[in-house]
Chains A and B, each alone.
Chain A
């Protein structure tokens, strides 16, 4: 069963066709990677799915319900949460209170929201930082906080926008473990990522876009050998540098 379905979505910025008739499905329990060159339209796809932008054409369904034209908070309430490439915590409140904002999005009782926030903070490994101001966290932990805030809204679909950028390979491995754990807890994940080590390890399938159009779709092992993908995205050095 598909959790999220996008059919022929098109988004223009003036004369620029940012997303061009893009279709894909995210199955229940799946991790789907979305890759492509800088400026290919990946984040625009996220902005359309999460209601920050409305595509001019096409349709989008979350768990069978049409979401095109809905506001971001409505889509969030229906079970889809996202993170931002440039992390956006409330800088001067604590890690705990940042997560509380997400937890209270559904009109949960204060007590319930508190206990849920505490659980999420522990699951993403921020227990020791719970009472620190968000702005004082180093980048890898700010990325975790960004995920914790999204998870606190109890999503069935999570959109992750470059949560591994700026992490070293060891930190990337820790992030892979965390995303796998979230996925095993029943959350489907759509993942935008340039860190191939991460996206290859996590994705069951990948789609590749360039100039807003899908140029390839398949399992990771096929994708990295696809000549179109090598030409537009990976570069010829990629395969040789994998060893």
Chain B
């Protein structure tokens, strides 16, 4: 459903990604792993139209979205849950969720989408009127994912959802990502929690210095000697 084909992305004169190609198929969970600063977040931002590639193309559901604006990409069914959550801290939980459904089709389905979000995160329902900035770290991550669900995505991109969370909450968040996937949404996941990420992924890609270094199934990558040494510290 998503095909990123040979993209180059620059920040000014600095190359961030070079000739990167990845694919996500319907209903898959795909992980992108790599050290900090190798371009993983840049890749997601380029897919969601925040960055533009200098070379290459991005296709989604048979459409060329290389130059499509971000709001339109969200409407087409790709949602992006960014690193560090990026909530609207002085807006309430409800208002943050509404911001995720800010186009006609999603607005119409709002009630049903809210119900879906509350099934995954009953905690958010208890805190609808609370300002997002006063939530705990775990609740903020739930809200960020909830907001991402409000656009009714067919592909959800998650950038380090486990960042700064307790071990118990990390397991909870990954369980919910799995459930979201079970309901038919494909997942493109960036994680430093490499073991957890690869264990639940159908396939994974490894980025090093802005280039694709390796790819394989989750299991292949977990048992790969280079990955074990460089990313798992084993």
Contacts and interface: CB of A to CB of B under 8 A. Distances in A.
Contacts of A35: 166
A168 B231 contact: yes
Contact of B37 (A139, A172, A196): A139
Interface in A139-198: 139-140, 162, 165-173, 194, 196-197
For chain A, which range describes its interface: under 10, 10 to 19, 20 to 34, or 35 or more residues? 20 to 34
A165 B164 contact: yes
Nearest to A194: B166
Given A38-B138, A169-B231, A169-B233, A138 B163 contact: no
27 contacts: A36-B166, A37-B169, A38-B139, A38-B166, A38-B169, A39-B138, A138-B36, A138-B37, A139-B37, A140-B35, A140-B37, A166-B163, A168-B192, A168-B194, A169-B192, A169-B195, A169-B232, A171-B35, A194-B164, A194-B165, A194-B170, A233-B166, A234-B166, A234-B168, A235-B168, A238-B167, A241-B195
Interface of B: 33, 35-37, 136-139, 160, 163-172, 192, 194-195, 229-234
A203 to B, nearest CB: 15
A166 B172 CA distance: 18
Contacts of A241: 195
A85 interface: yes
B166 A139 contact: no
- Which one of B35, B165, B166, B234 has the highest number of Cβ atoms from chain A below 10 Å of its Cβ? B166
Nearest to B169: A38
B137 to A, nearest CB: 4
Given A38-B166, A235-B168, 20 more contacts: A35-B166, A36-B166, A37-B166, A37-B168, A37-B169, A38-B136, A38-B138, A39-B136, A39-B137, A39-B138, A138-B37, A140-B36, A140-B37, A168-B33, A168-B192, A168-B231, A169-B192, A170-B232, A194-B167, A235-B167
B137 A139 contact: no
A167 B35 CA distance: 8
A85 B167 CA distance: 17
B164 to A, nearest CB: 5
Interface string A38-73: 110000000000000000000000000000000000
Contacts of B169: 37-38
Nearest to A238: B167
Q: 10 smallest A-B Cβ distances: which pairs?
A: A138-B37, A39-B136, A235-B168, A169-B233, A38-B137, A38-B138, A38-B136, A168-B192, A139-B36, A165-B164
Contacts of B163: 165-166
